[in-house]
Amino acid sequence: MAEVTPRVSVPPRRISILGATGSVGASTLDLIAHHRSRDSGCFEIEALTAQSRVAELAGLAMRFRPRLAVIGDPSRYGELKAALAGTGIETAAGAMAVEEAALRPADWIMAAIVGTAGLRPAMAALRPGVTLALANKECLVSAGPLFMARVAEAGVRLLPVDSEHNAIFQVFEPANRAAIDRLILTASGGPFRTWTREQMRAATPEQAVAHPRWSMGMKISVDSATLMNKGLELIEAHYLFDMPPSQLDIVVHPQSIVHSLVSYKDGSVLAQMASPDMRTPIAYALGYPQRIEAPAPRLDLIAMGALTFEKADLARFPCLALAEASLKEGGIAPTVLTAANEIAVAAFLKRRLGFLDISHVVEEVMTRCVSGRPLTLTTIEDVLSLDREARSCAEESAKALVS
Ligand code: NAD
Ligand code: MG
């Protein structure tokens, strides 16, 4: 009998997506749909979670048929249950249920919740046999040493999905780690790359989230406008690749084609290039160690024009300077930084704060909560308690700025 050649080389695997209704969640599901259209048996889904967009979650559940759908906001449970009645899909609600979804049997989990809210679910996903595709950078910034210790302890395969870290992962030669000079993260520069501080003072949420290259969730879009995103990514790179701050660089590259680079002692600089489309790094993580098809635009080297690189301007983008300082300080500083930033960005999006106030709030909270406190964070509870403290401090600081 002739051997049957499988139509796709993708192994079937059981997947859960934490943060399925977000931008990264949507790109992940788009890839899964793409592969399922060729092989309906590939990529079965165990769990999908979302925070509040219940109709969207129910729609995704009807389409992708997970075993479990979880809504974080418990007040929306009735709607989810009613929408999925008779489908055989289990439903649950609440923060604990999101965490429990991460504990369900799966061999590939996408951590795509935004903010420190994703920390507990991502930690729950760190179990032997799981490959964790990590998009949620805030959980690493907030609890880096604890997170990476758990990764090592559980023997988890951790694959970075953030495009810069995914690029570095692709060109990072573990056997030549000692020959690495530096990791160079590229930044698009965001929508205000050429704006003066005076122009930024009046920037609206609509202008801040209108990213020139990437289509992303609201919070990361504002972080890209302040360059806090690049600061969080420096900290993320420090933990992921175990590289000291002195070997981490940032270069502004407005075309967003070179996603990051690794510079070696022999003078070689290895870069990963692709169109700015998250389906490429997600496909890398989904297929790893194979490379699988992604329905992302192919790079046209002739059509793309010149690639340019410039220095990041710390004076116009103080959030980047604050993040760099917190990385150098270490300890509790990054935990406080990212918590304060989440509150300040949320207040800006609600028009309670101006764009330039974001860095003022973060700076004030860093001074009040961090200075002279040699606290070590030995448990996740320590991290979450400091996170709460920094958030309430940021709320106070935001209130004081508007009154
Ligand atoms: P998003 O706002 O579009 O989606 C966030 C998801 O998290 C949604 O599904 C939402 O329901 C869920 N969520 C929000 N609050 C929650 C809570 N308290 N509990 C449980 N679930 C909650 O965000 P995004 O742009 O997809 O980004 C997700 C993460 O990936 C962020 O950490 C971001 O920094 C990172 N990331 C995103 C991109 C991108 O292109 N969007 C690129 C690199 C990294
Ligand atoms: Mg990124």
Complete DSSP assignment for 92-142: EESHHHHHHHHHSS-SEEEE---SGGGHHHHHHH--TTPEEEE--HHHHHH
Three-state SS for 146-215 is HHHHHHHHHCCEEEECCHHHHHHHHHCCHHHHHHEEEEEEEECCCCCCCCCHHHHHCCCHHHHHCCCCCC
Domain limits of the chain? 13-160, 163-276+297-315, 330-403
The Å distance, Cα 282 to ligand 1 centre, comes to: 14
Q: At how many degrees (to 10) do helices 357-370 and 380-402 cross?
A: 130
DSSP 299: P
Give residue 165 CA to ligand 1 midpoint distance, Å: 17
| Average pLDDT for 129-152 | 97
What are 78's two structure tokens? 């009735």
Q: How far is CA 68 from CA 30, 48, 255, 383, in A?
A: 19, 7, 40, 29
CA 233 to ligand 1 centroid distance, Å: 15
Select the more confidently predicted residue: 370 or 24: 24
pLDDT of amino acid 374: 63
> Is 4 a residue whose pLDDT tops 60?
no
Take atom 39 of ligand 1 and give the residue whose Cα is closest. Answer: 216
What is the average per-residue pLDDT within 384-394? 96
The residues lining ligand 1, judged by C-beta closer than 6 Å to any ligand atom, are 19-25, 50-51, 53, 72, 98, 112-114, 117, 135-138, 162, 214, 216-220, 278
Ligand 1 atom, smallest distance to 113 CA: 7
Confidence of residue 42 (pLDDT cuts 50, 70, 90): confident
Q: What is the mean pLDDT of residues 153-161?
A: 97
Atom of ligand 1 nearest to the CA of 214: 40
User: Do the Cβ atoms of 124 and 103 come closer than 8 Å?
Assistant: yes
Query: Which residues, other chains included, contact 293 with Cβ-Cβ below 8 Å and sequence gap of 6+?
Result: 8, 34, 35, 283
Looking at residue 387, its pLDDT comes to 96
For residue 374, how far is its CA from the centre of ligand 1 (angstroms)?
Answer: 31
Q: Which atom number of ligand 1 is nearest to the Cα of residue 19? A: 9
- Whole-angstrom CA distances from 351 to 73, 203, 217 are 24, 10, 17
Nearest ligand, measured from the Cα of 219: 1
- The 3-state DSSP composition of the chain as helix, strand, coil percent (nearest 5) reads 50, 15, 35
Cα 267 from Cα 52, distance rounded (Å): 50
Measured by CA distance, the residue closest to atom 36 of ligand 1 is 135
* Overall size of the chain counted in residues: 403
Q: Do domains 13-160 and 330-403 have the same CATH topology?
A: no
Give pLDDT, residue 8: 44
Are 383 and 140 a contacting pair, CB within 8 Å? no
Span 323-341, average pLDDT: 96
Ligand lying nearest the CA atom of residue 161: 1
Atom of ligand 1 nearest to the CA of 51: 11
Phi then psi dihedrals of residue 310, to 5 deg: -145, 165
Distance 91 CA to ligand 2 centre (A): 32
Q: Which atom number of ligand 1 is nearest to the Cα of residue 21?
A: 9
What mean pLDDT do residues 219-245 have? 98
Q: Which residues contact 80 (CB under 8 A, 6 or more apart)?
A: 54, 57, 58, 69, 71, 91, 93
Domain 330-403 in CATH 1.10.1740.10? The answer is yes
2-14 mean pLDDT: 54
Band of pLDDT at residue 12, cut at 50, 70 and 90: low
Residue 41: what pLDDT?
Answer: 81
Of the candidates 143, 193, 163, the residue with the CA atom closest to the CA atom of residue 312 = 193
156 alpha-carbon distance from chain centroid: 18
Q: What pLDDT does 39 receive?
A: 87
Q: Would you tell me how many other CB atoms lie within 10 Å of the CB of residue 201?
A: 12
Find all residues with CB under 8 Å of 132, minimum gap 6, and list them. 109, 111, 122, 125, 126, 151, 156, 157, 158, 159
Give the number of whichever ligand sits closest to the CA of residue 135.
Answer: 1
Query: Which atom of ligand 1 is closest in space to residue 135's alpha carbon?
Result: 30
Residue 84: partners with Cβ closer than 8 Å, 6 or more residues away: 58, 61, 62, 69, 91
pLDDT for res 211: 84
| CATH architecture designation of domain 13-160 | 3-Layer(aba) Sandwich (3.40)
- What DSSP letter does each residue of 24-93 carry, written as one string? HHHHHHHHHHHHHTT-TTS-EEEEEEESS-HHHHHHHHHHH--SEEEESSGGGHHHHHHHTTTS--EEEE
Phi/psi of residue 385, nearest 5 degrees: -70, -40
Q: Which numbered ligand comes closest to the C-alpha of 97?
A: 1
Nearest to 129 by CA among 100, 154, 149, 150: 154
Is-above-0.85 flag for pTM?
A: yes
User: Given ligand 1 and candidates 54, 216, 222, which is best to mutate, with the most ligand atoms within 8 Å of its CB?
Assistant: 216
**Is-cis flag, bond preceding 289, omega within 30?**
yes
